[in-house]
Amino acid sequence: MQTIENLKVKEKVYKEKLENGLTVMIIPKKGIQKKYMIWGTKYGSNESSFVIPGEDKVTNVPNGVAHFLEHKLFEQENGTNSLDVLTALGVDANAYTTNDHTAYLFECTDNFYEAMDELMDYVQHPYFTDENVEKEKGIIGQEIMMYDDYPEWRVYLNAMQAMYHNHPVKIDIVGTIESISKINQDILYQCYHTFYHPSNMIMVLCGDFDPEHLIKEVKKRLINTEPKGEIKRVYPEEPEEIVKEKIEQKLEVSQPLYAIGIKDSGTCEVKKHIAMEILLNLIIGRSSHLYRELYQEGLIYAQPSLEYEFTNNYAHVLITGQSNEPEKVYEKFKEEVQRLKTEGIKIEDFQRMKKMIYGGYVKEFNDVSDIAKMFLADSFKNINSFDYLEEIEGVTVEYLEQILKDVMKEEKMVISIVKS
């Protein structure tokens, strides 16, 4: 078992890659009552075209299969639902699907090993029939229709569609009514056996554990499987330019919502991610010049959400919030970006923001759920979460100004608006 230690936060990660390819990561937290387990597969809504290990041809499946699988895995052949079983044990259980991975998890103080029994059982024993697949289509269909009328989701998805021509990140994670109608048990089993192999999965456990004992408990509950080759993901070619600068939609909202997007090229670089977090907070964070101006003019009433989403094949900035005049917020944002490019970034502002971002990274290591989810998501990008604590020291004001010029290009910016 490999030990990775970070002295800045006094944390250790015990990591082992098992014979079947599964990566297990254990983060002991002595004296902490809460225990957290998350088991994820590198399979999200973006994977609708792929080459199965051992084959040459490309397999294409409908959009929404990853999310459909997440729903169906809880249903057991004996008629029980594993989510109900876990709830009866007194644990807080859940699952989620993103663009690039799916995860099953629970948090508890008691009954940890009983909950581990249940989670590892249902994730390893899929049960699909024509009948239960058809029933699920109705349930997910209702979810799709609900999201169609959900303003916060529409403003996000419209921003994606304004930025991306072909990349599947522009498609709703749950799919569409039409796409899920094509899903059957054969497709579900095919995708399960392709992507739910241990070699494509990572398990993270955080709490007051003895790593050597816990790894034995994990191994006891694993089904014997042979190592498998790498899955080749197939993505359509994506142009550098955006689709259109503005998309507007009318829905019932008390105040207009906006999402400012900036299309970038995909790279899993920790240093660049840190720089983007610092930069976004400098431009429109709570202590920024622009935020104060927008607030005083009554254009915004709270700090917008600031995100930089990235993988190896796509990346973008998202700034989302509410305003009675979203177009003005967008124009002032572009003006502030241009001002910083012309005048440069003040060293005192940079140092202050850098300290704030570093404090946020340290704080993430206080909570078992934050730690586990962070290590899982980062590991799927081949990133060690400790790297954020180390690489932030190498982010200089000169590097930040270079990222500002490389990423914050006006021709790559879009705005999505949802208004009444």
Give SS3 for 17: strand
| 326-332 long-range contacts, CB within 8 A, separation 24+ | 326/256, 326/257, 326/258, 326/415, 326/417, 326/419, 327/415, 327/417, 328/299, 329/258, 329/260, 329/294, 329/299, 329/300, 330/258, 330/260, 330/413, 330/415, 332/290, 332/293, 332/294, 332/299
Of the candidates 70, 238, 309, 336, the residue annotated as catalytic is 70
Structure tokens at 121: 């059982």
Element (H, E) at 359: helix 347-363
Cβ atoms of 241 and 217 within 8 Å: the answer is no
Q: What are phi and psi of 357, to 5 degrees?
A: -65, -40
Q: What is the Cα–Cα distance from 313 to 151, expressed in whole angstroms?
A: 27
Contact 107, 54 (CB under 8 A): no
Cα gap 309→226, rounded to integer Å = 34
Degrees, nearest 5: CA angle 106-212-222: 55
Active-site residue 70, yes or no? Answer: yes
Residue 369's nearest CA partner among 55, 128, 91 is 91
387 contacts: CB under 8 Å, gap ≥ 6: 270
CA distance 273 to 255: 31
Rounded alpha-carbon distances, angstroms, from residue 31 to 207, 364, 367, 375? 8, 18, 13, 21
3-state secondary structure of 307: strand
Q: Which two tokens stand for residue 189?
A: 């089993």
Are the C-beta atoms of 268 and 310 separated by less than 8 Å?
Answer: yes
List the catalytic residues.
70
